[in-house]
Amino acid sequence: MKVTGRRSNQLGVTDLPSTVNKEKDVLNVHRYIRGLEMFIENCPTPMSIALQGDWGTGKTTFLQSMKQDFENEKKSEIRTVYFNTWQYSQFNMEGSLYTSFLTNIMTQIVPEDSQSKDLLERARKILKDVWKISKSAAWHFMDEQAKKKIGITISDQLAEEGIKAEREQANAICKLKDNFKEIVADAIGFPKREGRIVIFVDDLDRLNPERAVEMLEVLKLFMDVENCVYVLAIDYEVVVDGVRQKYGSSMSDEKCRSFFDKIIQLPFSMPVSSYQINKLLTENLGTDLEGCVSEVSELIEQTLGTNPRTFKRLVNSYYLLETVEQAAQKEEAVGNEKVRSNLQHALLLSSLIMQMYSQETYEKLIDCKEGMELNALLNPSKKENSDQENNSEAIKTNLDFGLVKLKVTLDQLKKTLAKESKESVEDLFLSELHLSSITSISNVQERSDKSGKFTIV
């Protein structure tokens, strides 16, 4: 196995988000990031932008890349704030999410070591107002719990404290936005007001949808502040689900869209269709797929799509199975292990693609006992083809589509790499397929063992 990557002894790919620069842009997204940066630099303010896309499509990478670029290139003109909502929700801190968010904004805009003592003091005053609001909210929560959970009668003294907290909350909310405007203006260099503050809010779409909508409503209070640009990782469908959870399932599509449009001024969908899988394959698998990168990348794009997280899982599974096979050969041959061919690498990756694409397709394949049976599965009789042509719904199923695309890939590999092998491509594919059962999410290894021909390493 040819090991590639940044270090010669490193296998697999981490799922930690990374930043993107022009020199290392394997996903072909730098132009989109730079375009967003230029828009943020020159747009009128206030402005709110939503990054939309499924989990794993790279929203965090976009946010962190823009944050790093602004800090490196525009530090004197643009201040950045980064807040990850999911980190707080994971520690059951959703109840204090709004307070944490506002506190983070203030402490990042005006850090404790700020040279302006007046600015620092006013920032602390805002945080005190935020605390008053959260204190009042906590009183309401306790009141409801007392009534509904344990039946405690609220005393007059406690009621007075609640009324006082109500008044403090009302006054704090009235002042909070105005005070925030002043802090922002001073932080960017009042009275010139030539700079701006860019506030990145990540993983909003990982919250419970209703809580995500509530967070957007809180953000709306501060989105109208001049010189501020908000960039939010939130998918439209999450907003729709949240609006209906909070305001009722009967909310129409039009009203859900109106809610979204009221908060978001610019939607931006992640450019997943522009992601170049062939570059990712070359970057992560190197010479393992020499001569067949285009064939395998085409199979990935047509079945799994171009989600970077899915691709990382695929590569990690591939490296694991390659090392398992290598270890088995060392034990059996003791220093005389065979070098696996590029065809075997490509077939192993193809089997993993089928495994991740459709469990139904994968199980159908793994039930094949020999190459001739696989050939029959991939090349049904004319009558079966005719029956499928008359049933458009059947053709649309994952099972049919996956097998069609696999057949095309195997046929291409026969033309490009099969000359190197003494075995048929079908038999070699089944060998790799049964090896891949180790990484299946369902128990297909027993089915594989019963095939009678291949042994699971």
User: Of all residues in the chain, what percent carry a pLDDT higher than 70?
Assistant: 72
CB distance 144 to 221 below 8 Å: no
CB distance 97 to 85 below 8 Å: yes
Residue 229 pairs in a beta bridge with: 47, 198
Residue 223: pLDDT above 60?
yes
Tens of pLDDT, residue by residue over 168-189, are 666 666 777 788 888 888 777 6
- Residue 147: predicted pLDDT: 44
- Residue 267: predicted pLDDT: 94
Residue 443: pLDDT above 80?
no
CB distance 416 to 291 below 8 Å: yes
CB distance 235 to 113 below 8 Å: no
Q: Is the dihedral of CA 110, 131, 168, 228 positive or negative?
A: positive
Q: What is the average pLDDT across 266-285? A: 89
| Side-chain-facing half-sphere of 381: CA atoms under 13 Å | 3
Tens of pLDDT, residue by residue over 50-60, are 999 988 888 99
Total-model pTM: 0.77
Measured CA to CA in angstroms, residue 276 lies from 54, 130, 240, 301 at distances of: 17, 46, 31, 9
CB distance 180 to 60 below 8 Å: no
Residue 269 pairs in a beta bridge with: 52
- Residue 444: predicted pLDDT: 55
CB distance 70 to 198 below 8 Å: yes
Tens of pLDDT, residue by residue over 144-177, are 444 444 444 545 555 566 556 666 666 666 777 7
Which carries the bigger pLDDT value, residue 134 or residue 62?
A: 62
- Token pair recorded at residue 148: 């509904």
- Token pair recorded at residue 40: 């943020």
The total of other beta-carbon atoms located within 10 Å of residue 445's CB is 14
Residue 213: pLDDT above 70?
yes
